[in-house]
Amino acid sequence: MAESTPMEIQPATVTEPMPAKPIFKPLKAHEMSDGKVQFRKVSVPSNRYTPLKKAWLDIYTPVYDQMKIDIRMNLKARKVELKTRADTPDVSNLQKSADFVHAFMLGFDIPDAISLLRMDELYVESFEIKDVKTLKGEHQSRAIGRLSGKGGKTRFAIENSTKTRIVIADTRIHILGAFSNIKVARSSLCSLIMGSPAGKVYSKLRGVSERLAERC
């Protein structure tokens, strides 16, 4: 036994290749909920019927081509119906498209409403004048006048400085934009309703928009 055979040492751990981590693709819309199609219906108010007819192609193309959502107008029920497709990549697309159509119904322009499809953090906020202050008769009409300004000047100034879009439909006000921006726009609109003159609101807006620009 001169030749000492080296003890065979088995390695403590056998490096067996681990099975590869499974990569699950996110479920497609039609695979969820047992392959049922998902629906959204957006009702069309009578005053937006004609504009919808005119802008139908502008609404239809991005929804159908980009978002891969089926869209049709139900003339009988006066509703725009949206439905997921087999090749719809994301479920959220359906909701985004519904939001987009809804924003158009509220009165936003197509180029502005399309931002709802393109971005995630945009919201539409709606409130009424009477939520801020109970105004009656002439006071109310003057408040609406203050909100929009001469030729919509005040409204555009607020829109441009806060990066939002505002729709003033009678006493209802809709704001489209990012959350923090909506807040700024809303506060300035509220102070206008409460009766502060436009110049004061402008000067406040200037300061606030500068601060907003510095922050981001």
Partner 1 sequence: MATVTDPGMEALEKLKSTEPPVFLAPSSISEVARVASQYLFTKLKPHNPKSPFVELLVDGFDAEQIWQQIDMQSQPLLSSLRHEVKRFAKNPEEILKLGNLVLKVSHENDDIDEMDMDELEEFLEEGEAEEYGTGSKNKKGGNEKLSTHEKERLKVQSKIEQMEKANLDPKHWTMQGEITAAKRPKNSALEVDLDFEHNARPAPVITEEVTATLEDLIKNRVIEARFDDVQRAPSLPTKSKREAKELDDSKSKKGLAEVYEAEYVQKANPAFAPATFSDELKKEASILFKKLCLKLDALSHFHFTPKPIIEEMNIQTNVPAIAMEEVAPVAVSDAAMLAPEEIFAGKGNIKDESELTQEDRKRRRAKKKRKFKAESANQPIKKARDVTTENPKTGSEQL
CA distances to 13, 104, 119, 123, 129 from 109, rounded to whole Å, are: 66, 6, 16, 15, 22
Four-point Cα dihedral 51, 56, 61, 62, nearest 10 = 30
Shortest spacing between CB 152 and partner 1, in angstroms: 7
Which region among 14-22, 31-39, 51-59, 204-212 touches partner 1 (by CB under 8 A)?
Answer: 204-212
Indicate which single residue of 131, 156, 194, 211 sits in contact with partner 1 (rule: CB under 8 A).
Answer: 156
Indicate which single residue of 7, 57, 75, 216 sits in contact with partner 1 (rule: CB under 8 A).
Answer: 216
Task: Give the 3-state secondary structure percentages of the chain, helix then strand then coil, rounded to 5.
Answer: 50, 15, 30
122 binds partner 1 (CB under 8 A): yes
109 binds partner 1 (CB under 8 A): yes
106 binds partner 1 (CB under 8 A): no
Q: Which amino acid, 206?
A: R
3-state class of 76 per DSSP? coil
Determine the Cα–Cα distance for residues 71 and 135; give it in Å rounded to an integer: 41
CA distances to 37, 91, 141 from 33, rounded to whole Å, are: 8, 11, 50
Shortest spacing between CB 160 and partner 1, in angstroms: 5
CA distances to 63, 102, 119, 174 from 42, rounded to whole Å, are: 14, 6, 20, 17
Shortest spacing between CB 104 and partner 1, in angstroms: 13
202 binds partner 1 (CB under 8 A): yes
Which region among 30-38, 78-86, 186-194, 202-210 touches partner 1 (by CB under 8 A)?
Answer: 202-210
Burial 60-83 (b: 16+ CB within 10 A, else e): eebbeeebbbbbebeeeeebbbbb
107 binds partner 1 (CB under 8 A): no
176 binds partner 1 (CB under 8 A): yes
Question: x/- contact string, 47-76, with partner 1 (CB under 8 A)?
Answer: ------------------------------
Helix or strand holding residue 95 (H, E): helix 92-106
Indicate which single residue of 77, 86, 119, 194 sits in contact with partner 1 (rule: CB under 8 A).
Answer: 119
- Structure tokens belonging to residue 39: 């629906």
Which residues bind to partner 1, rule: CB under 8 A? 109, 111-112, 114-115, 118-119, 122, 149, 152-154, 156-157, 159-161, 163-165, 176-178, 202, 205-206, 209-210, 216
